[in-house]
């Protein structure tokens, strides 16, 4: 049996709906987001994909999405939460609307902070950092799980060991693995899988609720490059909406 790796960005959250920078804020899914999660599960089912294991972030929008996927599949699956797959910390932008951020920063700086590999927002306040550190999703995690800001390159460095030490060994043993995480942690994972260039990474848009799958090649690599959306027409339309908003 050939192993597979399926990536799924959680369903729409209340912060996605409001157009705010979410980062490590532990927000719930909207009703539409719950429907997206269930639809993703049915899409897996219709493609005869039943994961052997589900790996999520510790944030409830990802955990709940995984639960709804399992409900649609009609089975409970072994699930583990890994903090390294948490969303990027947007620092002082956390909780700010994207409209206000663009107006304050200007278009060029806004896009650099959102889409580039190295753009780093100003650090969040100590008060917000302490509030987040005590949240149920982040409480008790190591210091590296909650910096005061992150560039995408920081997220890449924390997801890389998850890919090489956890995900790839499972896939290479023939297992089907589903990862439910976030726009930026999944972009970081794709950067590691596909060795994306900076321009490719800037153009990568992963919409909510659209599974994308890799399978194992005889060489041991994950293919195809960029993965394959299970519903390419719907995913292309949804990705265009993400791009129009300025990206993940």
Is 187 annotated in a binding site? The answer is no
User: Is residue 103 among the annotated active site residues?
Assistant: no
Is 14 annotated in a binding site? The answer is yes
Measured in degrees and rounded to the nearest 5, phi and psi for residue 140 equal 85, 0
User: Is residue 87 among the annotated active site residues?
Assistant: yes
Is 16 annotated in a binding site? The answer is yes
Is 90 annotated in a binding site? The answer is yes
Helix (H) or strand (E) segment spanning residue 151: none
Is 47 annotated in a binding site? The answer is no
Is 219 annotated in a binding site? The answer is no
Nearest to 91 by CA among 154, 17, 34, 150: 150
Is 140 annotated in a binding site? The answer is no
Is 227 annotated in a binding site? The answer is no
3-state secondary structure of 176: strand
Asked whether the beta carbons of 87 and 59 are under 8 A apart, the reply is yes
Is 34 annotated in a binding site? The answer is no
Asked whether the beta carbons of 95 and 21 are under 8 A apart, the reply is yes
Asked whether the beta carbons of 187 and 243 are under 8 A apart, the reply is no
Given 17, 48, 67, 87, the catalytic residue: 87
Given 10, 67, 150, 182, the catalytic residue: 10
Phi-psi group of 227: left, alpha or beta (phi > 0 → left; psi -120 to 50 → alpha; rest → beta): left
Is 220 annotated in a binding site? The answer is no
Q: Give the DSSP letter string of 41-108.
A: HHHHHHTT---SEEEE-SSHHHHHHHHHHHHHHTS---EEE-GGGSPP--GGGTT-BHHHHHHHH-HH
Is 114 annotated in a binding site? The answer is yes
Is 160 annotated in a binding site? The answer is no
Asked whether the beta carbons of 171 and 4 are under 8 A apart, the reply is yes
Is 134 annotated in a binding site? The answer is no
Dihedral (CA of 63, 67, 69, 75) sign: positive
Active-site annotation, residues:
10, 87
Annotated binding site: 9-16, 22-23, 61, 87-90, 98, 114-115, 183-184
Annotated binding site for substrate: 9-16, 22-23, 61, 87-90, 98, 114-115, 183-184
């Amino acid at each position: 049996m050939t192993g597979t790796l399926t990536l799924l960005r959680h369903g729409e959250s209340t912060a996605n709906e409001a157009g705010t920078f979410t980062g490590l804020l532990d927000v719930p899914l909207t009703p539409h987001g719950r429907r997206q999660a269930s639809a993703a599960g049915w899409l897996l089912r219709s493609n005869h994909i039943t994961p052997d294991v589900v790996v999520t972030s510790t944030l409830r929008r990802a955990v709940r999405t995984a639960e709804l996927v399992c409900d649609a599949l009609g089975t409970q699956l072994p699930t583990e939460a890994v903090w390294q797959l948490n969303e990027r910390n947007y620092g002082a932008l956390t909780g700010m609307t994207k409209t206000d951020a663009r107006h304050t920063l200007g278009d060029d700086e806004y896009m650099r902070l959102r889409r580039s590999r190295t753009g780093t927002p100003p650090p969040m306040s100590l008060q917000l950092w302490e509030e987040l550190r005590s949240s149920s999703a982040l409480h008790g995690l190591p210091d590296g799980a909650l910096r005061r800001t992150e560039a995408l390159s920081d997220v890449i460095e924390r997801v890389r060991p998850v890919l090489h030490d956890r995900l790839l060994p499972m896939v290479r043993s023939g297992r089907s693995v589903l990862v439910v995480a976030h726009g930026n942690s999944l972009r970081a994972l794709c950067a590691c899988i596909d060795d994306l260039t900076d321009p490719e990474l800037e153009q990568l848009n992963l919409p909510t609720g659209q599974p994308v799958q890799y399978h194992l090649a005889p060489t041991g690599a994950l293919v195809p490059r960029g993965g394959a959306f299970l519903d390419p027409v719907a995913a292309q339309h949804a990705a265009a909406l993400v791009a129009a908003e300025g990206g993940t």
